[in-house]
Amino acid sequence: AQSVTQLDSHVSVSEGTPVLLRCNYSSSYSPSLFWYVQHPNKGLQLLLKYTSAATLVKGINGFEAEFKKSETSFHLTKPSAHMSDAAEYFCVVSVSGGGADGLTFGKGTHLIIQP
């Protein structure tokens, strides 16, 4: 079985400062890891994904994440926050087997951007 733990339910940063959203995962097999973003009243959007290639993954809107197997972590970062980044962020794990590849979501981190 696989799971993800998002270490912060809420993160508040000032506009223009760095963003760090923390995620630890648990998986018996080599996982695929994702970050999704959900803006209010909008659908889920894929930010980036790790699938055992480069450990530093670059995504959309300036976000990136680093896969650290030794720490079982997949933290999301952005050098400079923008007001439009305010949203709910989900760390997600998937382990494919027998054709099943449903996503297991964390509980989410609400990112607040202070002007």
Pairing of strands 10-14, 109-114: parallel
CB of 26 or CB of 45, closer to another protein: 45
- How many amino acids of this chain bind another protein (CB under 8 A)? 20
Contact 37, 24 (CB under 8 A): no
Q: Is 71 in the site for another protein (CB under 8 A)?
A: no
By CB under 8 A, what part of segment 28-47 binds another protein? 42-46
> 96 φ, ψ to 5°?
-85, 140
**Site of interaction with another protein (CB under 8 A):** 42-46, 49, 90, 92, 96, 98-108
